[in-house]
Structure 1
Amino acid sequence: MGAVYFSHTKDHFFSPEIGRFQMSSIQEQIQEVEDEIRKTQYNKATSHHIGRLKAKIARMRDEIEKKASAKGGGEGYSVRKSGDGTVTLVGFPSVGKSTLLNKVTGAKSEVGAYEFTTLTVVPGVLEHKGATIQFLDVPGLVKGASSGRGRGKEVISVIRNSDMVIFLLDVFQPKHYEVLMDELYQAGIRVDEVPPDVNIKRKDRGGIEINSTIDLDLDEETIKAVLDEYKIHNAHVLIRENITVDQLIDVVLGNRSYVCSLTVVNKVDLAYPQLIEECRKLYPKSIFISAHEGINIENLKDAIYDCLGFIRVYLKPQGQPADMEEPLIVMSGTNIGQICDRLHRDFRRKFRYAQIWGQSAKHPGQRVGLEHVMEDEDVLTIIIQK
């Protein structure tokens, strides 16, 4: 038998060959594997071992999430997405989320100078540059939220279904940002990332076949070790970008949520200029506001619109001129099928074809199908069955 790795906890051990822990709970197992990763020096010889350990941690966390969902674990927050995009305000308790929501949207979210004022999700609507943006104020996140502390599971479920998060920081406690990012990462939310360009197609036999279009830092042994952890023994793997082992695990799990973000520092009206400058050095791309005094709110609205990546699509009824006055506002990457869903519940079912004029068309009036992705200022005609 190969090497056995001992932890600091008495009588607990992990063997790569045996692949099991003698421990009382999944959380303890996760801690044990994390300790093992910390004490293992990273090099080419140990990379596949560390990759397997990371995959094991991700699998166990996924098990915890599934068990928590099966048990229910309390009353969840049910919020139906609406508008052209959904933004969730994320921050520690009492950083000013409710005040900002009220200032931006006119919603009635309770405001108080004490923690956990917001106990449910409070929605609001921002109308800006022709876009209707849904704003959600959720209870403040705290350290340990990804494990359920402070209604964390319910709050994170709302964030997972958002298109964008605003990290709202208190100018007096700016380092909360790292905690918030870590909690979202542990919960499977990838901030300002895109899904890795990797395709894993399972097959009945033939083992693991790996192909890539570029040079990879990951070696074949590490990739196979990660797949083996998830009992994938026969598959064709196509990799089109240089990924990390963590990104490979994300692809295998297939349940990650990808959102864009803005970092906003609040309460600048109360801070000395020197403190504000220190915060600017920490977060040079952040927006500094006072939700209470309304300072810099219009710039924030513009930044939200830009971050969501909206595009304009002009609708052209068949045989008639296009309506160039009131475009349909959709998010970048939207395809014709999604536009059909938005216009009318029967449009996708009755769809015959569409015609496109603009940047995404190979030629004016090109016929396309439901999967065609729109670009900014395209003109669109949808032809349906009568």
Structure 2
Amino acid sequence: MPANLTPDYFKAEEWYRSASTNEEKILALEEMLAVMPKHKGTEHLQADLKRKLSQLKDAATQPKKGGKHVDVFHVPPTGAGQVVLLGTPNTGKSAILAALTNAKVTVADFPFATHAPVPGMVKYEDVQIQLVDMPPITADYIAPGQVGTYRNCDLIAIVVDLSQDVEEQLLILLDFLETRKLLAGAETPAVDDQACPEQGRGGNVLGRKAFCLCTKADIAADGALELAKRSCEHPLEFVTISTETGEGLDAFRKYLFDTLEIIRVYAKPPGKPADMNDPFTLPAGATVHDLARTIHRELAEKLKSAKCWGTGVYDGQNVHLTHVLHDRDIVELHFG
């Protein structure tokens, strides 16, 4: 049976052959496995790639020598969460970053003005959220190194320009997410439970939450938003903004905070007022002990008691270390 390998596979294969480090080769092999058609004609090739992948991962666990490889697509996460923009050329991604952050970006009317990730910080009340602009993707070209950035972020913003062909944009963007198994909860058959443990039979647990961020609401084509919603087969939420008029930007900041499912907790040193300017951000459902571990992992083991001001408690109430915290709680930790 012929393999019938796809153009995306050959692009990843070319990346693998030109890779100069084990880290690059691992990413390229994982990409090749993800986009390869799964049928009897590719069984031997799959086995060969998985063997190479296993060998490279084993080698990666060994002590490294020499200089460190720099991955241009790696963006160290900062703030309360990392949100990465995904879009086709000239859809306003850079304009979004410019409108919401102080990052230095090139906003141009020509495509491919962004060549590498550009991070910036979005402020929502007293919380900073990282927003990352990325090079655009097309039906014909996607830099293989981009996949890791989307795989490692907290939230993917699928940018759709309402003044252009929304169906074509969504077709390209959703195909990218689906073929690389980047959507959380998407039911996809496992490539191999040992080689790719993240692709279990219960769904893609390493996928990321995503939503559609519709731009240029001020010049949207008639019925574009409704058409975009009908064209999307996934249960994604739609957020509409205009960087030109500012429409929806404040609501978008709040949407990011809510969708990241985080809470703010303020630490109060014993006998002193709480620091209300610099909260700790934790996942919703976090406990007092989780807060202690966030502050200092080793000190957390010495945590003896805590007092809490906020939701569901009276001011200064002694709470158990397993007490679940809420947004804007104030906590006083006592270590032994």
Cα 1:300/1:317, change in 2 over 3 Å: same
Contact 1:58 1:249 in 2 (8 A): no
Question: Do structure 1's residue 376 and structure 2's residue 297 form an aligned pair?
Answer: no
Identify the range of structure 1 (262-271 vs 161-170) with the bigger mean alpha-carbon deviation.
Answer: 262-271
Q: Which amino acid aligns with 1:297?
A: L
Q: What pairs with 1:224-239 in structure 2 (closer than 5 Å)?
A: 230=194
Structure 1: 5+ residue runs without aligned partners?
1-6, 11-25, 38-52, 197-221, 232-244
Cα 1:74/1:173, change in 2 over 3 Å: farther
From 154, 163, 176, the equivalent of 1:183 is 176
Q: What pairs with 1:1-386 in structure 2 (closer than 5 Å)?
A: 7=1, 33-34=38-39, 75-143=71-139, 149-151=141-143, 153-171=144-162, 172-175=164-167, 176-191=169-184, 193=185, 230=194, 247-248=200-201, 257-282=206-231, 285-319=237-271, 327-334=279-286, 339-340=291-292, 342-343=294-295, 347-351=296-300, 352-353=302-303, 354-355=305-306, 357=308, 364-368=317-321, 374-384=325-335
Cα deviation code 1:357-385 (max 9, x no counterpart): 46699x9423327xx76433444233346
Cα deviation code 1:167-221 (max 9, x no counterpart): 1012223232343233234334333x49x9xxxxxxxxxxxxxxxxxxxxxxxxx
Q: Which amino acid aligns with 2:97?
A: L
Contact 2:2 2:41 in 1 (8 A): no
3-state SS in 1 of match to 2:145: helix
Q: Which amino acid aligns with 2:94?
A: S
- Report the CA distance between 1:63 and its aligned residue: 6.7
3-state SS in 1 of match to 2:94: helix
Cα 1:57/1:308, change in 2 over 3 Å: farther
Q: Which amino acid aligns with 1:159?
A: Y
CA distance in structure 2 between the partners assigned to 1:174 and 1:77 by the alignment = 27
CA distance in structure 1 between the partners assigned to 2:2 and 2:334 by the alignment = 67
Say what the alpha-carbon RMSD is for the aligned residues: 4.5
3-state SS in 2 of match to 1:177: helix
3-state SS in 2 of match to 1:189: coil
Q: Which amino acid aligns with 2:327?
A: D
TM-score, normalising length: structure 2 = 0.67
- Report the CA distance between 1:166 and its aligned residue: 0.8
- Report the CA distance between 1:280 and its aligned residue: 4.9
CA distance in structure 1 between the partners assigned to 2:90 and 2:52 by the alignment = 29
CA distance in structure 2 between the partners assigned to 1:380 and 1:60 by the alignment = 54
Cα 1:341/1:138, change in 2 over 3 Å: farther
Cα 1:96/1:311, change in 2 over 3 Å: same
Cα 1:119/1:280, change in 2 over 3 Å: same
3-state SS in 1 of match to 2:252: helix
Cα deviation code 1:260-293 (max 9, x no counterpart): 2221112233333333443354468412222234
TM-score, normalising length: structure 1 = 0.59
How high is the sequence identity, in percent, across the aligned residues?
21
Contact 2:33 2:191 in 1 (8 A): no
Cα deviation code 1:32-85 (max 9, x no counterpart): 634889xxxxxxxxxxxxxxx9xx999888778778998999953232211111
Cα 1:319/1:258, change in 2 over 3 Å: farther
Cα 1:267/1:249, change in 2 over 3 Å: same
3-state SS in 2 of match to 1:311: strand
Q: Which amino acid aligns with 1:184?
A: L
CA distance in structure 1 between the partners assigned to 2:118 and 2:193 by the alignment = 41
Contact 1:314 1:323 in 2 (8 A): yes
- Report the CA distance between 1:303 and its aligned residue: 1.5
Cα 1:274/1:321, change in 2 over 3 Å: closer
Q: Which amino acid aligns with 1:173?
A: D
